[in-house]
Structure 1
């Protein structure tokens, strides 16, 4: 048999090498849900049938698109119940051959565009300092001038503003007195850090709502989370300055770290995720910056919601973590609150709302209806044994 073509190869695994044959051990063992793909690499064709829920996340600066595809009626009911409890507003569901799909848009709290955040502060600082610099025009020859440099990712967008203000106040070129230029550099650097801290906090709050829903759903269903493969997007020749602060890497790390280990994580090809209608496959046209309209079915979409739904429907190209059944899943043998799994029993004891009363230290059995609590302070009739030798300088007690 000849070598398989690249198109026939299955999705690759992070860290997999080569396409040679390997013994039937680990995920490729017979009877395992993970089987070998035609190209020799480990794929996940069997696990797609076992997965009960597929979650797609589309990342953007001001908001996150979130889509859930339920493969059966029980999973759809759990999705509606969990999202309602967490306050995630779902869109109108639509049915496809892959299951019931619902979408949501999770906004970042108190988000502000970094360009607007820095532009307002840079303009305010220059309008405060430039009148004083213009008043001492007669001593300009004795001043040390320095070219303006902005240590921020949005420097190429802010420099036209600086040039316009300097020309308005009659400054020579893009230079300022050294003290003013250095102060501006330090302030821009601190303003950028302040915006980053605020954005990181808002991003964690928004993703926390999504991961909380995924974690709760993974207790009863096998969940696979799909993300866009955006590696190398910052190295393109033409891109907007906001891409420099694109939080895709942070989302990937949070997904791997804040979801249970039995939740699968996969990457998909981002091509066409914002231009195809998830419901009918037609072409989406811009109605506004955030609103898209399908030319075929006329359905209106939020840009990030449509992207998340297309990500959930897309075929994985790389698996970062395989999905598995939760140890708390009651359908799994030995799982559930009353199962025989030791880890599950330990978890069920920790979350038990009505724990059994703790036995007293004297060895007697607890009496039903009597709460045994730890007593504090001296107990009458209790004698404490002392060590035979005390540490040096330790005062001996009387009695």
Structure 2
């Protein structure tokens, strides 16, 4: 690969500097750099960040290639500035064996747009009854360290304890989808004033909070790591804050849509707003933003959940739950956290690159923008404003809640180990 000189970029939102890439590595960072024969990218004050890392992506392959494939999902990831994603296990067949996770890992290698790290299922078939082959998945070529039944909660306390004990042996982490199933039977949206007015089955906050409370206590008892997927309520924030104050090894994520959207949108009965966990109240949204700012919530994760048109273009009760998010995540974080003064760009890099890479063990990702580090980078035009048009998405699915909404920021370039995957907003 030839040398690349990124000229005049605001590294982590700071002073404009030049960044010289040589092959797969950053050679130098500073003012007035030059390199004979280098490809020059004029950043013109755009923000340069380390490549983003998503700890929670649904790529759907194998089994639901009508929604997404590893190739289309990683193209969407590159479009959104991601250089690594963790692929959830709720595929068909479920990623509960070494064979399936190795298949996903291989497909990621073949795609070339970003690194794909499979997440293994906690239980066989996501049924919550018997532990899956955790050790075999960890020892496979995929080297799985994160395990989750996302989409379903590991609601059996004994099974959850055993999973935490098992992964402790190799420094793994169990990522819990916190949803007490008996409290959410028939639930269609957040339980509250809006659900009562609309006559839709309510999804109470306590269904999430009770599982989080149980699991942080289990993690403390076992001395293991637990990660809370898509935390969505103010009460959940307080439980995680309490657990961290006790020294419990817990981390948590929030999705972009839970930082911006509320259950008031469900009044439209548009199934694009149907998601798991559901959109909550304005009070919850504000609590989530504050918790992300103060570090109680560690990271932003997209929960990118693609669905084909027919699974969303139907009546509310029959619609699938989920939203695509890889291509809009950074813009939503810019609007909700940067432009509100809650996070600096350096802190965005921490929540969307450094920490997710650390939690998941994504080698070579979430590294500083400095000499000698892998050239996994994203260039962002933070001054851009534009309406979201899903017709231009790289994802195979279009179920975005932001269609027509004006959002700030646009990813113009993404580099994976020095190779451009996105140039001037277009995939290579």
TM over 0.5, yes or no? no
TM-score interval, smaller chain: under 0.3
What TM-score does the superposition give when structure 1 sets the normalisation length?
A: 0.24
What TM-score does the superposition give when structure 2 sets the normalisation length?
A: 0.23
- Please state which structure has a larger fraction of its residues in strand: 2
Higher relative contact order (CA 8 A, sep 6+): 2
Structure showing greater radius of gyration is: 1
